[in-house]
Structure 1
């Protein structure tokens, strides 16, 4: 029933800002097209330390970043000139394609008060035909994301299609991504019609096949199996998956089906050929020291970005 259970690892985004990193994992690089997943927060810091949390301008290629908040707010700025504050229940979907740079700033003290900031960041790899497409950005408001409720179950479709729900979030390959909240005792399943499927437990505790799983664990399920997920506590889950795209290489913030393309992205960032956000260009993240070749199953510098 379960192919794998992934325990989140601690990763540092910046001084005093640690996250739980779920994907990529050494035994499971991707679930469907999802190649990266971080869970940040709840974050509670003094206002004087807020600048330390900012994620400075940095580059991406070959992927879409997906930002989703449980609480707080973040200001996104990118090299297209977009400036967008994202709040809980919204989706920021940025497609890097041939190359984009963006920053994420935490500029509202109230958004961090009392541990208010909590967010999920994922990367979705692009099909080969779209890897060199033009960069784009879209923000989707809560009313654009359908909600389903049943006894003890609330869920929002973030992207893709699942349980008969669809929305207008633009994706490049078949996938599903859901935020679900279960009350104690609620029983829940996985959407059918997708080859690879996983559940991340953000809060609470669930039982599957007689075993219990808690916060920070991702359950990756065997294709074709339809498990019953039982909430043993009030629980918050992220459900995700879709059709696999094939091998992808990941190095720092770059994803590609070709190793040589990642080498080109490194050179482009060092040479300034990936533009900085016009409204946030006074500082940036330099290319990290390259201690390894880009590899689908080897080490690489930790991503600087949350997204």
Structure 2
């Protein structure tokens, strides 16, 4: 009884700040402004299909890039000594100590047409060389206010969430399993393909979940790095609650659909992860 009483504050916290807001979203999604039950909020979402498409395409792109960067980095870190690991992890996590918006503003100053990157390239004569070789009149690389800048912001901000779970899983693989594969005649490539990669899939799937979910729902990155040219789901939901087109019922419907899609994706990935883990154990 005493132990159960200790859980009361957590139950109250969950009820007030998690369950209650979710119930409000469901109620708003299925009601109209006059309070009547309706499905029009969902039927009106078709006009915003481009926002859904852009959000999922950019989120998937950022997630794939994070895998391509994060997996090799996590793998090589797992092979290094303790000192190298500590320094590398500190460098990976160091940007996370800074506010999300400050990191984004820093990238704005880097990617701007008159930003530090273009100034550096101009200072070393890179643009002059390109213009001489190809007969162009290039003065800068236009990087800001593009979809590429949005993806870059996603990768930069969420890459640690891909590296950490993969590193944690690979680091816990029993060296005896690898030695057994080598004793049976497997070379390094075969050991990685048949042993290390299958056993590390739970970490990959955890990283995919931790990167994909915040990427698909982000709104600050698209507005600051994309210049508001690419409307994402986060921007669309924010507009319905805080913008001039105030419509919390439509915003709740969009948020509810997005949550369902994300939960389905997570369930599929978890199911896939269980199957792969079973194959690896066998």
TM-score bracket, normalised by the shorter chain, equals under 0.3
Write 1 or 2 for the structure with the bigger share of strand: 1
TM-score relative to the length of structure 2: 0.21
TM-score relative to the length of structure 1: 0.20
> For the pair shown, which has the larger CA radius of gyration, 1 or 2?
2
Write 1 or 2 for the structure with the bigger share of helix: 2
Say which structure, 1 or 2, has more relative contact order (CA 8 Å, 6+ apart): 2
